[in-house]
């Protein structure tokens, strides 16, 4: 069987190209040796389950411990603790039936299911008594537990942990999911009966995360394919994949799979080119693979909106990495910190965020009667930015209030609607690149159409200084891109100001560069 790049479920060494997952989280082995209970969290489809299955196999082969992988996904949706704890015990029993080294040991509960407050602890203790080696358990999908079940689950683990010198219990436990344990605490903070003085969380020795691939690791992963097929990925292509993905494991595999299997149709005599990376990115986004759909669903959450919206707008408000909302969105893998600014985790996610949030506008724009058809904005192979943006000004004057009301992200609505307008214009003939970063007070974007770049700076007017500041920022952006002409679009959202004063067009020449200031 020929190996493939995996985008569905855990990697298997005989079927998939893969890297040793433990290399991205080396502290796990030490924590097991030290008999610790710990948390491992990372974003969806970043390799957690692959790591746990691989680690369980390594531990069992080493022979010092018995290791068991147990997913709690089947417990999802069970909100009653009286049903949740027995469901966990049943899942443990089911997993043990298929564990080669453990299936011959009897796992029977010494208490009835109704005794939920002791059922898990006593069942595990009774099982550990009959084992001839210490037991290690990797509990995956811990996020699936409802609050009441989670608290009872952790309390029983805690009691087993603190009494294990007298009563046999699990040697080491990993609690694995998408969220940091801090976020579990945050969700339960308002319930006075959940934690108490003996917090069930205080047995956790360490909280680990699973980092993304480095560029060198992507090179190593892709080299496995080259070794099997002879198909070569150049260093420039690998660098472009890393730029787009920032090493997110699912995206790294998905882009390689899209290029080799779909775009090049499994013709391994062909060499993937840089243009194929961009094509693969667009295919994956437009197809809305499951990973992308999961990302879109997260954007509906209020606590995600509170973090993502300032990123879209380049908002000036500061952030605290210890804040529960920020930590939650970090743990979901949606954002990262870059030079003390919040930015989308990678350019693919950035594109998905804007496309999804502006999607409703893009289709509706086609029904606005006075807007020109997209081809009308192209003159002699170039975008007529004056014609285009004046059309947008007219649209904005007539429809802004009703259209903003359609958006969940209302503060970012002006930016998103203009994005939708630009997408409508360049669809099929160009692309948009962005530089989002909460804390810089602006959004840089560039329309790329027929090998010509059109830099645009978006800002919200807060004072007269906004215009001077925006021009300086636009000049810096133009220098970065090597462009001699740029556009500063400023949205004035003051209700007390007439449209006649909000809508204007000014052109200045500064240091040999043309700057157009467009009021909206």
Q: Mean pLDDT over residues 445-464, rounded?
A: 90
Tokens 């009667």 found at? 369
State pTM to two decimals: 0.86
DSSP letters for 124-180: HHHHHHH-SS-EEEEEE-GGGS-HHHHHHHHHHHHHHHHTTTTS---SEEEEEESS-
Q: In whole angstroms, what is the distance from residue 232 CA to residue 157 CA?
A: 50
- CA end-to-end span of the chain, whole Å? 59
Beta carbons of 455 and 487 less than 8 angstroms apart: yes
Q: Which residues contact 317 (CB under 8 A, 6 or more apart)?
A: 310, 438, 439
112, two tokens: 């009835």
193 or 314, higher pLDDT: 314
Return the pLDDT at 441: 67
CB-count exposure of residue 189 (10 Å: 0-12, 13-18, 19+):
exposed
φ and ψ at 71, to 5 degrees? -85, 140
* Residue 18 pLDDT exceeds 80: yes
CB-count exposure of residue 167 (10 Å: 0-12, 13-18, 19+):
middle
Q: Mean pLDDT over residues 334-342, rounded?
A: 84
Binned at pLDDT 50, 70 and 90, residue 3 comes out as very high
Tokens 């649209």 found at? 395
Q: Mean pLDDT over residues 180-198, rounded?
A: 52
φ and ψ at 189, to 5 degrees? -60, -30
* Residue 126 pLDDT exceeds 80: yes
The residues pairing with 508 across neighbouring beta strands, listed in sequence order, are 515
Q: Mean pLDDT over residues 303-324, rounded?
A: 78
Beta carbons of 376 and 330 less than 8 angstroms apart: no
DSSP letters for 25-88: -THHHHHHHTT-EEEEE--TTSSHHHHHHHHHHHHHHHSSSEEEEEE-GGGTT---HHHHHHHH
DSSP letters for 351-408: HHHHHHHTHHHHHHHTT-TTSPPGGGGEETTEE-HHHHHHHHHHHHHHHHHHHHTT-S
Binned at pLDDT 50, 70 and 90, residue 430 comes out as confident
Return the pLDDT at 198: 47
* pLDDT tens-digit series, residues 165-187: 899 999 999 999 887 766 665 55
Return the pLDDT at 191: 44
Return the pLDDT at 510: 87
CA-based radius of gyration for the chain: 27
Binned at pLDDT 50, 70 and 90, residue 45 comes out as confident
- CA torsion, ordered 326, 329, 331, 337, to nearest 10 deg: -60
Binned at pLDDT 50, 70 and 90, residue 400 comes out as confident
Return the pLDDT at 185: 58
Q: In whole angstroms, what is the distance from residue 63 CA to residue 68 CA?
A: 13
* Residue 435 pLDDT exceeds 90: no
* Residue 284 pLDDT exceeds 80: yes
Q: In whole angstroms, what is the distance from residue 366 CA to residue 356 CA?
A: 17
Q: Mean pLDDT over residues 296-325, rounded?
A: 81
Q: In whole angstroms, what is the distance from residue 498 CA to residue 370 CA?
A: 22
* Residue 406 pLDDT exceeds 60: yes
* pLDDT tens-digit series, residues 460-471: 888 889 999 999
Tokens 């020929």 found at? 2
Binned at pLDDT 50, 70 and 90, residue 43 comes out as confident
* pLDDT tens-digit series, residues 147-171: 889 999 999 999 999 999 899 999 9
Residue % of the chain over a pLDDT of 70:
92
């Amino acid at each position: 069987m020929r190996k493939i790049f995996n985008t569905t479920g855990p990697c298997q060494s005989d079927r998939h190209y893969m890297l040793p997952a433990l290399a991205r989280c080396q502290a796990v082995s030490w924590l097991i040796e030290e008999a610790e209970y710990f948390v491992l969290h990372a974003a969806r489809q970043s390799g957690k389950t692959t790591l746990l299955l691989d680690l369980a196999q390594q531990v069992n082969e080493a022979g010092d411990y018995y290791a068991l992988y147990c997913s709690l996904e089947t417990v999802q949706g069970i909100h009653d603790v009286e049903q949740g704890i027995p469901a966990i015990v049943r899942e443990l029993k089911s997993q043990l039936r298929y564990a080669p080294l453990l299936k011959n040991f009897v796992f029977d509960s010494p208490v009835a299911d109704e005794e939920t407050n002791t059922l898990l602890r006593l069942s595990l203790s009774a099982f550990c008594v009959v084992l001839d080696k210490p037991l290690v358990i990797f509990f995956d999908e811990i996020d699936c537990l409802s609050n009441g079940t989670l608290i009872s689950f952790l309390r029983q683990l805690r009691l087993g942990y603190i009494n294990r010198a007298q009563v046999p219990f699990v040697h080491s436990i990993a609690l694995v999911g998408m969220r940091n344990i801090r976020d579990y605490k945050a969700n339960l903070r308002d319930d006075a009966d959940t934690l108490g003085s003996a917090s069930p969380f205080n047995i956790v020795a360490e909280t680990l995360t699973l980092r993304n691939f480095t560029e060198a690791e992507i090179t190593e992963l892709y080299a496995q394919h080259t070794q099997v097929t002879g198909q070569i990925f150049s260093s420039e292509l690998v660098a472009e994949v890393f730029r787009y993905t920032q090493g997110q494991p699912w995206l790294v595999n998905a882009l390689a799979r899209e290029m080799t299997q779909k775009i090049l149709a499994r013709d391994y005599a062909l060499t993937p080119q840089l243009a194929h990376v961009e094509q693969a990115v667009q295919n994956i986004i437009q197809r809305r693979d499951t990973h992308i759909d999961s990302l879109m669903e997260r954007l509906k959450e209020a606590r995600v909106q509170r973090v993502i919206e300032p990123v879209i707008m380049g908002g000036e408000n500061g952030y605290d990495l210890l804040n529960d909302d920020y930590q939650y969105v970090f743990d979901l893998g949606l954002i990262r910190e870059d030079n003390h600014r919040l930015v989308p985790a990678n350019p693919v996610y950035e594109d998905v965020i804007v496309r999804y949030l502006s999607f409703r506008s893009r289709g509706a724009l086609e029904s606005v009667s006075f807007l020109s058809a997209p081809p009308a904005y192209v003159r002699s192979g170039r975008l007529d930015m004056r014609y285009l943006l004046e059309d947008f000004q007219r649209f904005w004057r007539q429809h802004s209030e009703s259209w903003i009301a359609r958006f969940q992200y209302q503060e970012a609505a002006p930016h998103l609607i203009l994005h939708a307008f630009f997408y409508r214009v360049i669809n099929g003939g160009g692309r948009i690149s962005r530089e989002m970063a909460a804390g810089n007070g602006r959004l840089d974007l560039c329309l790329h159409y027929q090998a010509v770049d059109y830099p645009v700076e978006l800002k919200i007017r807060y004072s007269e200084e906004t215009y001077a500041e925006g021009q300086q920022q636009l000049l810096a952006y133009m220098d970065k891109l090597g462009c001699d002409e740029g556009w500063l679009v400023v949205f004035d959202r003051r209700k007390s100001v007439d449209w006649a004063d909000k809508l204007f067009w000014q052109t200045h020449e500064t240091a040999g560069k043309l700057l157009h200031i467009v009021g909206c």
